[in-house]
Structure 1
Amino acid sequence: MGDELVLVTGGSGFLGAHCIVALLERGYRVRTTVRSMDRQVEVWAALEMAGLADAEVDIVAADLRFDAGWEAAAAGCGYVLHTASPFPANAPKDENELIVPARDGALRVLSASRAAGVKRVVLTSSFAAVGYGHPSRDTEFTEADWSNPQADIGAYTKSKALAERAAWDFIAADGGTLELAVVNPVAIIGPVLGPKLSTSIELVRRLLSGGMPGLAKISLPVVDVRDVADLHVRAMVDPAAAGERFLAVAGPAWSLEQMAGILRVRLGNEGSKIPTRVLPNWLVRAAAVFVPPLRQLVPRLGVVRNASNAKAVGTLGWEPRPVEDSLVDTARSLQKLGML
């Protein structure tokens, strides 16, 4: 608990909003950035949905692509949670549209934090910076692993790996007394606080709404957004977190078939649109030619990547909740927003 001022970048985002909630509930004062001030309504709407409509949050404009606003945003802050990062719905034609703002934005935040005398920055990286570009393996990925940006891993994945590498290089060469900790979440689910949905939440929404003709043979490790926010706060204040990265994952990867089964059982009649048929891989590949949302699933067919949460649990005392509960809470929040 503390009343220090904490900057959360990207407060209108899914994780950013939950980080704000986690900090407010622990008594911290919060400032957050949005790309432009017309996005502040999204922050207030998220806080209202979280039951914090009367909370005091300082909202300022700062864009990852530009220098303006970052030093003022960091001024007077004891800590910074850097959750903002470009994440477009579709892959860009030029990978630098993602890589440059992700990398340079992280460096802008770190530079402004150092200038403002911030104690520690917690950077939201991703499992995308850990588990891609490797040969197939049966063992769990850990914080010692890094994605290979020279492999064909896609623009978003490459952007997360390069941005995190650049952040660590900055701290080593120019960080001064500024400390860095990194959180690497897998696919994030959990209660949504607004209508803009992440890729992972959209997958759950399609499961529930009848938007899937069947279940592709894909599996992914998942984690609850509330637990990721909690891990950010733990990494912010625990002395043992300085200079470390932490995988945020609830446990072994879940297949779409397992997710669908749990949701059907837990939701009863409300889960009547959830598909039961498992689609053969050839059919998903063929359909992806004509159905753009399926294209991002094709590289995942038959691939299982597991990650270990032992470091976050053992070092920071982190306790992720069961995936079953997170799935149901995701569904209930989508129902509440009328998105099913």
Structure 2
Amino acid sequence: MTNTNKKTILVTGGSGYIAMFIMIALLKKGYRVRATLRTMSRQEEVKKMMAQGGISDFTDLDFVQTDLTKEEGWSQAMTGVDSVIHVSSPTPLQRPDADDLMVKMAVDGVKFVMKAAKEAGVERVVLTSASGAVLAGHKDHPEIFTERDWTNLDAPINAYQRSKTMAEMEFWKLAEAYGIEGASVLPTAVMGPILGNDFSHSSAAIKNMFEGKMPRLLNLAFDYVDVRDVADLHLLALEKKEAIGQRFIATSGQNITYKKQAEFLKKEFGTKAKKVSTQVIPDFLVKILARFDKSLAMPATFLGQNTACSNEKSVKLLGWKPRSGEAAIIQTAQTMLDLGVIKVD
């Protein structure tokens, strides 16, 4: 018998990597979950991946169809919902061809969600933003980045960072205008266990390393975070009073270069990682190649820039306890190997 006293949480972009782990965490904690999908035919695929994450009972999960580019469907999605976790946004792996379209999709999605939330009387909305809304466009920023920082929209930044920044700005503006309790979670590079063929754009680099598709590495370092810890931080932002009106960076606190990442993958996996390269490509060559290779366009904007972020606020204010970045990266590789996502000879 279904417990009608359970709170219902709407999670947008239910087929996404982060969203699925949030949904798993919510179900395990006794919430009812409604997930939005752009294509309803993906329901069984999502359930199969969630089963891989430990969910066997889907009684408290249902799906509804919505689209970031259309207002239709969002009011229906909000019916009977207590709170919302808005994860859905175009990522570098599923981005539209036009940069301005990527920004428009992200901002419009926030507008549709917040308007429908207000009309449905939803009290709290948690937005999945990104560290890209904090640290992009700051070539001269030697200090560690915190939630007080915002991406410099006047700098020549990539469309993904621009979309995340402008969407979060719109979110805070509408939260205030509509009187909705808001909180935002800003993940750094997301790693951790994968559940199938749908994983983060950050973890795609691990697959490429193992398959020898990254013979030279970029001279870059990023903060990393386990996807399970990202999900936990969303739940803390959802439940805790202290989270209202606050941004929270999700990072292990470890800033790791691609070279260092390659070195501990080789150490951990031995012959399985024989194609993993530790050779670094010079910055000037990356800048030239980025003109012709779209996949290098975004990382090239971070060459020569500090990207280290602080997790002090998330840890102290909400009691969040993240795993190490190294453990998250190893977990990505291990599950990719276990599920046959990485093809090794």
Q: TM-score range by the shorter chain?
A: over 0.9
- Equivalent residue runs for 1:1-340 within 5 Å: 3-56=6-59, 57-89=61-93, 94-173=98-177, 175-176=178-179, 178-285=180-287, 287-288=289-290, 292-340=294-342
The alpha-carbon deviation at position 90 of structure 1 amounts to 7.7
TM-score norm. by structure 1 comes to 0.93
Deviation digits for residues 278-313 of structure 1 (CA, Å, limit 9, x no counterpart): 333344445556655344433333333111111000
3-state DSSP of counterpart to 1:319: coil
CA RMSD of aligned residues (A): 1.9
Residue 103 of structure 1 deviates from its aligned partner by 0.8
- Deviations along 1:11-54, one digit per CA (max 9) or x if unpaired, are 10010111001111111111100012123233112112213143
Which of 120-129 and 81-90 deviates more? Answer: 81-90
Q: Which moves more between the two structures, 311-320 or 298-307?
A: 298-307
Structure 2: distance between partners of 1:92 and 1:101 = 9
The share of aligned pairs that are identical, in percent, is: 39
1:253/1:304 contact within 8 Å kept = no
Matched residue type, 2:18: L
TM-score (norm 2): 0.92
- Are the aligned partners of 1:8 and 1:83 in contact in 2 as well (CA < 8 Å)? yes
Asked if structure 1 preserves the Cα contact closer than 8 Å seen for 2:16 and 2:199, the reply is no
Letter paired with 1:297: P
> What is the Cα deviation at residue 196 of structure 1?
2.9
CA 1:131–1:13: 2 relative to 1, 3 Å: same
CA offsets per residue over residues 101-120 of structure 1, 9 Å max, x none?
11111111111112222221
CA distance in 1, matches of 2:52, 2:24: 11
Structure 1 stretches of 4+ with a deviation exceeding 3 A read 88-94, 282-297
How far has the Cα of 1:93 moved from its partner? 5.4
List per-residue Cα deviations over 1:159-188 (Å, max 9, x = no partner).
111111111111222x13x21101111111
Contact 1:91 1:155 (8 Å CA) reproduced: no
2: distance between equivalents of 1:159 and 1:328? 30
Partners in 1 of 2:208 and 2:9 — Cα distance? Answer: 35
Amino acid across the alignment from 1:218: L
Gaps of 5+ in 1: none
* Count of paired positions: 337
Q: Secondary structure at the match of 2:238?
A: helix
Distance 2:312 2:212 in 1: 36
